[in-house]
């Protein structure tokens, strides 16, 4: 077991060399992307945009590709997004556009509080000293910030209320961008495209891009920008590495199921089920707890509450080739893919922690850390929160990419994951300062989204956010912050630690969330229907039919054409395996 | 004299007018607005409320035909019926015990009994959720201990038992309220009729049934009305314990209205449901409280 204290300079040197190597590769990729963009733009211009439409099969909805933003060059305002933001504020002040005494109010998601306002003098296990990001902004720009914090589950209501009441409480808000169209519909936020052109933030560009799916989620089908990324949760698969590496266990498993125990993580959902069955009730030596009774191991903890059952459903549904709409705008939830996905989810129920059906991650985290469950699906912070748990201390964190299904048509394995609940910064339309100087909250957003500022705030002491930028997997501060307590995972990429390797694989395979108007209702519909099936209240046929019918009702209430167009934005930005599966170029 | 009385009345009205205006504004305006909204198809995510088209009674028809709403009404009625009855019986028993028996340190025990009522419902909901957990839940552990076998009942996964768990949580929290009202009522009863009955040879049972209970009737009615009204609005405990599940089998009217009105932003739709429920509650309450009003000739 390696922990942060065991770290030596050689390790750091090794990681630094990897860091340098990566950035060089990224720079090269960036140049290629820029060249490709120039060529692409020329081709599109020459062909009158016809080719652009054709390339976005299966439908011909015109979209603005994200690579159009990949031509960031230093401007007179500064070389980096943060410099440009700060200098722009100074310029606005000098020109008298910012009235004397102007201040900004910011609704900050509570989990990010310690990233922005850490306890003074605190330090995170040798990573870096606390940096008060509010003070830093105020010192740089002279614009005071008032910060209110709120639990992320309550942000939606506040955001919509701003639109209804036009109260002007906040200028910048943390919001889940999944509900983007609700905020636009409620007239609560402003588009940022004009400012984007003027001040050039770095989104999917430069040496430290957002992972692309997050950047796509910040835009609507026309390419308009509506926010900046803060924290996106994708899901990885975890299991007890200390148990699966036991040769006796491996032999017993192979004897029972006639194939080797997938030591480096299951590739198929059927393997997850088999492992759940095999491990359920296990009482071997790995279950020993100091000074306590050994807990009985359950085969898994797979959420069956509304929120998480939605996530797992989408992952399986997409891997099985499911789509929400067909080309003719018909809702296609009542499909073989949906039935298989839900049926397979239920197959795990007998072997998993019973309370997973009625509880959620606050119960799962300690259950996994306390050696009560063998496997789970979770976001990055599982290991961060459970870093000192019995499971972590005994090497019980194996972190892998989400399992998948084999496509029967060509025998190819498809593994994807869903990016969910992407907390972002949006500019509130009715904020007092927004109404006077809309650039100001935008510039704060751009400053916060700057690669260096962003990494700095996320790696701050007390941070509990998950990562939103691929570069952070190469940043020593982030590696130390998020992986200090995790065991090596040498089969993915030797030299770096923990879940970062799994994240590297997962990031390009993320699917955008189902960003449609009325998403809250859709989530509840799917969650309650599946829960009723998992608890034997209704059969599979009724479940899927109710999901289909309820979804159609919600979709039609907001206009099927619009909802279809929004969904196509997701489809057109599918990760490579799904594009290949559906023949999307 | 009549003139002076008129002037005094005017002055009194003037004094009370500002408060009346404020209260009526706070009461009537939102109520009228809710009625208006219930006749539109307004959803905040579709634009401002004053631009929402009027759909007439459509929302009322839709919501009354919605099986989920019907289910929420049935669940709520079951909770109200079972929980309030149990709370009344237990509260009456406790009050009678405290009233009749010579219990030492009565005030200490009274305070202890009242503690559950002072706990925030959200906290008691969370506590009861962990109590009814299948694995490691206290309820199963106690049953295992008593029965001598391992009990692993999925209390919160089975519709009937999940509803029972919610009812038990409510009973635990609100029995003290019944006890408090009934005990206060008993101590306020005139002692003469009870003493006279004892002298005339009535048994304690007869005294309770023939003398105390009739005299307690107004208090009992008030206690039942207050508790039933409160239980009808039950939200925190089932929301935290079961989130309305499994499926929607423990969803109450308040959870339904919260989900549709706040979470799904379907305010017009939820307003229709809320007004329907309001009308029902008013009718039931007026009918129930009729017995409290003096009858003609009394």
Distance from C-alpha of A125 to C-alpha of A7, rounded to nearest angstrom = 11
Q: How many CB atoms lie within 10 A of CB A90?
A: 15
State residue A142 phi and psi, 5-degree precision. 75, 10
Put simply, the answer to whether B247 touches A354 (Cβ < 8 Å) is no
Residue A468 three-state SS = coil
8 Å CB contact between A121 and A130: yes
- Fold exhibited by the domain A4-232+424-474: D-Maltodextrin-Binding Protein; domain 2 (3.40.190)
Domain B27-292 is found in CATH 1.10.3720.10: yes
Half-sphere exposure of A407 (CA within 13 A, CB side): 16
* Residue A358 sits at the chain B interface (C-beta within 8 Å): yes
* Residue B248 sits at the chain A interface (C-beta within 8 Å): yes
8 Å CB contact between B217 and B209: no
Domains of chain B, by residue range, sit at 27-292
B134 → closest Cβ in A156, A354, A521: A354
In eight-state DSSP terms, residue A122 is -
Put simply, the answer to whether A532 touches B262 (Cβ < 8 Å) is no
A537 → closest Cβ in B44, B247, B265: B247
**What is the value of ipTM here, to two decimals?**
0.85
Put simply, the answer to whether A358 touches B246 (Cβ < 8 Å) is yes
Topology match between the domains A4-232+424-474 and A307-347+514-585:
yes
Q: How far is CA A410 from the centre of its chain?
A: 30
Q: Which CATH number does the domain A307-347+514-585 belong to among 3.40.190.10, 3.40.640.10, 3.30.70.120, 3.20.20.100?
A: 3.40.190.10
Domain with residues A235-302+353-418+490-512, CATH architecture: 3-Layer(aba) Sandwich (3.40)
Read out DSSP for chain B? -HHHHHHHHHHHHHHHHHHHHHHHHHHHHHHHHHHHHHTB---GGGS-GGGSPB-TTHHHHHHHH-HHHHHHHHHHHHHHHHHHHHHHHHHHHHHHHHHHS--TTHHHHHHHHHHHHHS-HHHHHHHHHHHT-TTT-HHHHHHHHHHSS-----TTTSHHHHHHHHHHHHHHHHHHHHHHHHHHHHHTS-HHHHHHHHHTT--HHHIIIIIIHHHHHHHHHHHHHHHHHHHHT--HHHHHHTTT-STTTT--HHHHHHIIIIIS--HHHHHHHHHHHHHHHHHHHHHHHGGGSPPTT-
Task: State the smallest CA–CA distance between residue A350 and chain B in angstroms.
Answer: 12
Put simply, the answer to whether A531 touches B245 (Cβ < 8 Å) is yes
Distance from C-alpha of A406 to C-alpha of A269, rounded to nearest angstrom = 10
Put simply, the answer to whether B264 touches A537 (Cβ < 8 Å) is no
Mutate to test the interface with A, among B48, B144, B247, B270 (most CBs of A within 10 A): B247
Domains of chain A, by residue range, sit at 4-232+424-474, 235-302+353-418+490-512, 307-347+514-585
> Which residue in chain A has the smallest CA separation from B152?
A354
Output the tens digit of pLDDT for each of chain A's 585 residues: 333 333 343 444 443 333 333 333 334 334 334 333 333 333 333 322 222 222 222 333 332 333 333 445 556 889 999 999 999 999 999 999 999 999 999 999 988 888 888 876 776 655 567 788 999 999 999 999 999 999 888 899 999 999 988 988 999 999 999 999 999 999 999 999 999 999 999 887 766 777 778 888 899 999 999 999 888 777 788 899 899 999 999 999 999 999 999 998 899 999 999 999 999 999 988 888 876 777 789 999 986 677 788 989 999 999 999 999 999 999 999 999 999 999 999 999 999 988 888 777 888 888 999 999 999 988 777 876 787 788 887 878 888 888 999 998 889 999 998 887 788 999 999 999 999 999 999 999 999 999 888 888 877 766 666 666 766 666 666 666 555 444 444 444 444 445 666 677 777 888 988 889 999 999 999 999 999 999 999 999 999 999 999 999 999 999 999 999 999 999 999 999 999 999 988
Put simply, the answer to whether B47 touches A187 (Cβ < 8 Å) is yes
In eight-state DSSP terms, residue A337 is H
Residues of B in contact with A156 (CB under 8 A): 263
Put simply, the answer to whether A528 touches B264 (Cβ < 8 Å) is no
* Residue A434 sits at the chain B interface (C-beta within 8 Å): no
Residues of B in contact with A535 (CB under 8 A): 157-159, 245-247
Put simply, the answer to whether B159 touches A164 (Cβ < 8 Å) is no
Pairing of strands A228-233, A413-414: unpaired
């Amino acid at each position: 077991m390696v922990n942060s204290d065991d770290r030596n300079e050689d390790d750091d040197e090794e990681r630094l060399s990897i860091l340098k190597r990566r950035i060089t590769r990224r720079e090269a990729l960036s140049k290629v992307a820029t060249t490709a963009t120039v060529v692409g733009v020329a081709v599109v211009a020459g062909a009158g945009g016809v080719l652009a439409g054709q390339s976005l099969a299966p439908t011909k909805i015109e979209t603005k590709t994200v690579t159009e933003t990949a031509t960031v060059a230093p401007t007179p305002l500064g070389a980096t997004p943060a410099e440009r933001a700060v200098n722009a504020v100074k310029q606005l002040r000098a020109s008298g556009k910012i009235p004397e005494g102007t201040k900004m109010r910011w609704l900050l998601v509570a989990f990010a509080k310690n990233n922005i306002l850490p306890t003074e003098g605190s330090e995170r296990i040798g990573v870096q000293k606390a940096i008060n990001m509010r003070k830093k902004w105020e010192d740089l720009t002279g614009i005071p910030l008032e910060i209110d914090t709120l639990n992320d589950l309550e942000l939606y209501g506040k955001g919509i209320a701003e639109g209804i009441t036009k109260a002007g409480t906040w200028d910048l808000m943390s919001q889940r961008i999944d509900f983007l169209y609700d905020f636009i519909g409620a007239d609560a936020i402003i588009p940022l495209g004009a400012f984007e052109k003027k001040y050039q933030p770095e989104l999917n560009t430069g040496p430290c891009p957002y992972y692309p799916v997050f950047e796509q989620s910040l835009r609507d089908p026309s390419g308009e920008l509506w926010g900046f990324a803060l924290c996106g949760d994708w899901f990885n698969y975890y299991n007890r590495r200390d148990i699966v590496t036991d040769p006796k266990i491996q032999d017993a498993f192979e004897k029972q199921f006639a194939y080797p125990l997938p030591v480096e993580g299951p590739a198929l959902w059927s393997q997850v089920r088999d492992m759940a069955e095999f491990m359920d009730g296990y009482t071997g030596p790995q279950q020993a707890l100091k000074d306590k009774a050994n807990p009985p191991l359950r085969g898994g903890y797979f959420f069956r509450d509304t929120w998480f059952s939605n996530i797992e459903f989408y992952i399986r549904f997409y891997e099985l080739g499911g789509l929400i709409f067909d080309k003719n705008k018909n809702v296609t939830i009542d499909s073989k893919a949906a039935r298989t996905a839900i049926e397979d989810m239920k197959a795990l129920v007998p072997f998993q922690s019973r309370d997973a059906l009625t509880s959620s991650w606050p119960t799962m985290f300690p259950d996994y850390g306390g050696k009560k469950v063998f496997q789970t699906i979770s976001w990055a912070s599982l290991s961060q929160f459970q870093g000192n748990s019995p499971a972590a201390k005994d090497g019980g964190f194996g972190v892998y990419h989400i399992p998948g299904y084999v496509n029967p048509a060509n025998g190819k394995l498809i593994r994807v994951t869903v990016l969910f609940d992407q907390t972002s910064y949006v500019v509130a339309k009715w904020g007092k300062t927004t109404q006077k100087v809309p650039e100001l909250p935008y510039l704060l957003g751009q400053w916060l989204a700057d690669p260096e500022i962003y990494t700095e705030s996320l790696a701050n002491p007390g941070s509990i956010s998950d990562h939103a930028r691929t570069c952070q997997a190469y940043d020593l501060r982030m590696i130390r912050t998020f992986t200090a307590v995790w065991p090596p995972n040498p089969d993915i990429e030797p030299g770096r630690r923990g879940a970062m390797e799994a994240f590297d694989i997962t990031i390009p395979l993320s699917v955008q969330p189902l960003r449609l108007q009325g998403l809250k209702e859709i989530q509840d519909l799917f969650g309650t229907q599946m829960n009723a099936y998992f608890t034997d209240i209704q059969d599979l046929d009724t479940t899927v039919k109710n999901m289909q019918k309820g979804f159609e009702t919600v979709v039609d209430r907001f206009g099927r054409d619009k909802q279809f167009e929004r969904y196509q934005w997701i489809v057109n930005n599918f990760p490579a395996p799904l594009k290949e599966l559906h023949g999307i170029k | 004299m009549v003139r002076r009385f008129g002037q005094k009345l005017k002055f009194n009205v003037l004094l009370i007018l500002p408060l009346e205006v404020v209260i009526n504004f706070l009461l009537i305006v939102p109520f009228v607005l809710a009625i208006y909204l219930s006749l539109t198809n307004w959803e905040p995510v579709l634009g401002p409320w004053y631009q929402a088209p009027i759909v007439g009674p459509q929302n009322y028809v839709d919501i009354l035909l919605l099986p989920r709403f019907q289910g929420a009404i049935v669940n709520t009625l079951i909770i109200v019926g079972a929980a309030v009855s149990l709370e009344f019986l237990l509260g009456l028993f406790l009050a009678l015990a405290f009233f009749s028996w010579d219990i030492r340190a009565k005030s200490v025990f009274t305070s202890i009994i009242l503690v559950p009522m002072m706990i925030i419902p959200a906290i008691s909901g969370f506590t009861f959720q962990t109590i009814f957990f299948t694995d490691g839940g206290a309820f199963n552990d106690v049953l295992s201990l008593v029965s001598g076998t391992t009990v692993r009942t999925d209390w919160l996964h089975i519709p009937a038992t999940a509803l029972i768990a919610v009812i038990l949580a409510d009973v635990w929290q609100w029995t003290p309220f019944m006890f408090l009202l009934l005990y206060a009522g008993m101590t306020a009863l005139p002692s003469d009729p009870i003493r006279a009955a004892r002298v005339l040879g009535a048994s304690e049972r007869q005294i309770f049934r023939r003398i105390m209970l009739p005299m307690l009737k107004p208090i009992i009615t008030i206690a039942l009305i207050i508790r039933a009204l409160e239980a009808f609005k039950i939200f925190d405990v089932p929301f935290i314990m079961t989130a309305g599940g499994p499926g929607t089998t423990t969803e109450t009217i308040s959870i339904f209205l919260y989900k549709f009105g706040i979470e799904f932003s379907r305010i017009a739709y939820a307003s229709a449901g809320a007004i329907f429920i309001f009308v029902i509650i008013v009718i039931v309450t007026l009918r129930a409280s009729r017995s409290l009003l003096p009858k003609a000739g009394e």
